[in-house]
Every structure is written in structure tokens, then in C-alpha cells.
């Protein structure tokens, strides 16, 4: 994501039509944006989730792609808890297809024959809406999802990228009980239990950073998992500070 609101927007263009993809990249670059490209969903997953994966502000996503469609990509993306804005690029005009995409969590739908100036304007409009809704506040804790900043009271918390993602995911659903397997899937993109204590270690570190400045926000429910809440939930047990030591 952009480090600040004045930085160039970072856009990933995902489309199997190379000629069209390059035209979009050039138009976005000319408009002052930082545009990257992926030729299909698999390339997009590698760009965003592979080793050294990069963050982007917005994804422009083709609907009809081989092997994994734009719909399938978006469904997986949203199910993993990711909120990055997505605009579908499509040559289809059927309203049913637009409704399907919007119901899956797309932020807008743009026809491929749309003027590039309008495409840029739609990107900027989606980003304005996203920034307005990208602040998570619980008590004295404030999480700026776009700028990836965390404040508690008047203090800024220095978190690692993984600690930030862990806190963001849990704070977006206060009161939910997260198992270790849930968090491995959503935060680490590991879809099996490798019998690692990486979740416990990161939870313990995150708790210590949060609790230096206030009351506990992440609680352990024995035998079930972890809960983000302003008050300890029923069944909350020891806070496992020793897990990171």
C-alpha cells in the first residue's frame, strides 16, 4: 500500500490480453500511478502472496481469464480477509454478470471500452471511498488500514508487517474466536497446520506491544483460540505472554 495519501497509487493490472494490459499500464503510468501487471490469476497470486509478495492499493481484474476467472480470484481474495479494492474490467454488459461481481465484493465494474480518463477517475473515486472506510477504531486503539499505522492513545505502535496484519484481521471482527489454523490461513496464507508455534509467538509479541499502553485487547479462550475484545470474553484464560520468550 502507499505509505501516505500523497504517494502514487499502486495498481496491479490482471488481464490475459497482453495488448490491452499494456495499454492500461501506460495510461495509468501517464496519470501518475505506479502500475504493475500480471497475465493471469496465478501470476497475480504469486505477485501478491508469494515470497517477497508486494502490496498494492487497488487491483484491476479481468473477468474472463483461463484456468481461474476473475470471479474465482476475487472470491478467494475476499474469503482470505483481504480488503484491497478491486475493479472488474469486462467486455460483458449483462447486468447479471455485474451483479455477480459486486456481490462477490468488487468495488466497481468498468467496461473495457471505457475511456481511460474515466477509468482513472473511477479508480480515484474507489480509493476515496476506501480510505474513508479504512479506519478501525476500538476504544483508544486506532488502526489506519491504508497507511498501515496503529495508534493507541497518543502513541504510535511500531509493528512488524505480520503483526500489523494479525492485529488488523482480528480487530475487523471483534468478539470472533480465531483458531490457530484460522490465523495461519488468513494471515500467513498457510492452508494446513504445520505444527508450528508461529501464531503463538506473534500473538505474544503483539500483546506485549499493545499492553505497554493500555488494557489487554487480545484474549485466549482455553481450548478454542484467540479473541480481540475490549473486555475479556467468557472463558478467557491465561494471556500466554511466555509464548514469545
The per-residue pLDDT for range 164-174, each reduced to its tens digit, is 999 999 998 89
- The pLDDT assigned to 133 comes to 67
Check whether 3 has a pLDDT greater than 50.
Answer: no
- The pLDDT assigned to 43 comes to 94
Q: Which domain holds residue 149?
A: 135-244
- The pLDDT assigned to 31 comes to 96
**For the whole model, what pTM was predicted?**
0.56
Are residues 34 and 63 both part of a single domain? yes
Are residues 155 and 44 both part of a single domain? no
Are residues 38 and 139 both part of a single domain? no
Residue 2, in any domain of the structure:
no
Domain total in the chain: 2
Neighbouring CB atoms inside 10 A of 222's CB total 9
- The pLDDT assigned to 94 comes to 66
Mean pLDDT over 226-244 rounds to 70
Check whether 1 has a pLDDT greater than 50.
Answer: no
Nearest to 188 by CA among 163, 222, 152: 163
Q: In the β-sheet with 86-90, what is the strand arrangement from edge to edge?
A: 34-38, 10-14, 58-62, 86-90, 108-111
Residue at a domain's end among 91, 109, 132: 132
Residue 38, in any domain of the structure:
yes
Band of residue 100 on the pLDDT scale cut at 50, 70, 90: confident
Mean pLDDT over 60-82 rounds to 89
Rounded CA separation 29/62 (Å): 19
Can you give the CATH number for the domain in which 58 is found? 3.40.50.2300
Residue at a domain's end among 132, 159, 174: 132
Mean pLDDT over 131-150 rounds to 83
Amino acid at each position: 500500500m502507499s505509505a501516505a495519501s500523497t504517494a502514487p497509487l499502486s495498481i496491479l493490472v490482471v488481464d490475459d490480453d497482453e495488448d490491452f494490459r499494456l495499454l492500461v499500464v501506460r495510461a495509468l503510468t501517464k496519470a501518475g500511478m505506479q502500475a504493475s501487471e500480471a497475465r493471469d490469476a496465478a501470476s497475480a497470486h504469486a505477485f501478491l502472496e508469494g515470497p517477497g509478495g508486494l502490496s498494492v492499493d487497488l487491483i484491476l481484474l479481468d473477468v474472463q481469464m483461463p484456468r481461474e476467472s476473475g470471479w474465482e480470484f476475487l472470491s478467494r481474495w475476499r474469503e482470505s480477509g483481504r480488503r484491497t479494492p478491486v475493479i472488474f474490467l469486462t467486455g460483458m454488459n449483462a447486468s447479471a454478470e455485474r451483479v455477480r461481481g459486486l456481490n462477490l465484493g468488487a468495488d466497481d465494474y468498468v467496461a473495457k471500452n471505457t475511456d481511460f480518463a474515466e477509468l482513472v477517475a473511477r479508480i480515484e473515486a474507489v480509493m476515496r471511498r476506501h480510505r474513508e472506510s479504512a479506519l478501525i477504531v476500538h476504544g483508544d486503539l486506532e488502526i489506519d488500514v491504508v497507511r498501515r499505522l496503529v495508534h493507541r492513545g497518543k502513541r504510535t505502535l511500531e509493528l512488524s508487517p505480520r503483526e500489523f496484519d494479525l492485529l488488523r484481521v482480528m480487530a475487523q471482527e471483534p468478539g470472533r474466536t480465531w483458531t490457530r489454523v484460522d490465523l495461519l490461513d488468513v494471515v500467513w496464507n498457510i492452508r494446513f497446520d504445520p505444527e508450528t508455534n508461529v501464531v503463538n509467538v506473534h500473538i505474544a509479541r503483539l500483546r506485549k506491544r499493545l499492553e505497554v499502553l493500555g488494557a489487554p485487547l487480545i484474549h485466549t479462550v482455553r481450548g478454542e483460540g484467540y479473541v480481540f475484545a475490549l473486555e475479556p470474553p467468557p472463558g478467557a484464560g491465561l494471556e500466554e505472554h511466555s509464548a514469545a520468550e
